[in-house]
Amino acid sequence: FALAAVRFPAPGAFAAAAVLCFLLLGLLVMDAETFLLPDTLTLPGAALGLVEAASLAQFPPALALLRSAPFAVPHWPAFESSLAGALAGAGSLLLLRWAYWLVRHREGMGLGDVKLAGLLGAWLGITGVALSLALGALLASLAALGVLVVRGGRANVGQMRLPFGSFLAAAGLLTVFAGRQVLSFYFSFWT
């Protein structure tokens, strides 16, 4: 909350950032400990993100990632971006979950991760959820590599369980506080 107060000093922006950070920190710890992301946090959290986007107390430009990336759609109003982000975030992970089921004939990702991606999209918009998904996948991959290194390659990669929601929540927090800088760094390689 202290970091949110420093980063977003306006009262409305701080309140929005504090709510999102509260949700993401709670979900991060909960998934790490239990491999569960409860609907009691993800679904109301996503709804709050849509309400926040529709209200006048929108996030300040520091969180308006829509103008930070070449693939962004800056002419979209906040609510449309929020709704598109929620649908794209949840839809992409739902599609990935379904594809994994078709290939492996077993569940590889829980629906809580899908709902968390929807929550991130509702709060951060389409560009923010894209960045959060990419960073979450990167963080989870690095953690999996770390497990392999520690175990000396003896880990069964096909059976390894990681709480992806924790990595996704951490990536969401990184997007909130450093999303513009991460995107600027990434796209500096393409200009």
* Top-confidence range, 18-22, 111-115, 179-183: 111-115
pTM: 0.89
pLDDT at 187: 80
d(C-alpha 144, C-alpha 26), whole Å: 22
Q: What are the φ and ψ backbone dihedral angles of 163, each rounded to 5 degrees?
A: -80, 85
Q: Report the range of poorest mean pLDDT among 53-67, 80-94, 107-121, 177-191.
A: 53-67
pLDDT at 52: 86
pLDDT at 15: 86
d(C-alpha 38, C-alpha 165), whole Å: 11
Taking only the tens place, the pLDDT of each residue in 21-68 is 999 999 999 999 999 999 999 999 999 999 888 885 455 444 554 444
Tell which wins on pLDDT, 52 or 99.
99
pLDDT at 137: 97
d(C-alpha 37, C-alpha 30), whole Å: 7
Chain centroid, CA 110 distance in Å: 15
Residues 6+ apart with CB under 8 A from 179: 63, 65, 68, 124, 128, 131
Taking only the tens place, the pLDDT of each residue in 120-157 is 999 988 888 999 999 999 999 999 888 888 887 666 76
Nearest to 88 by CA among 111, 121, 113: 121
Residues 6+ apart with CB under 8 A from 134: 171
Where does the pLDDT of residue 114 fall: very low under 50, low under 70, confident under 90, or very high at 90 and above?
very high
d(C-alpha 131, C-alpha 182), whole Å: 9
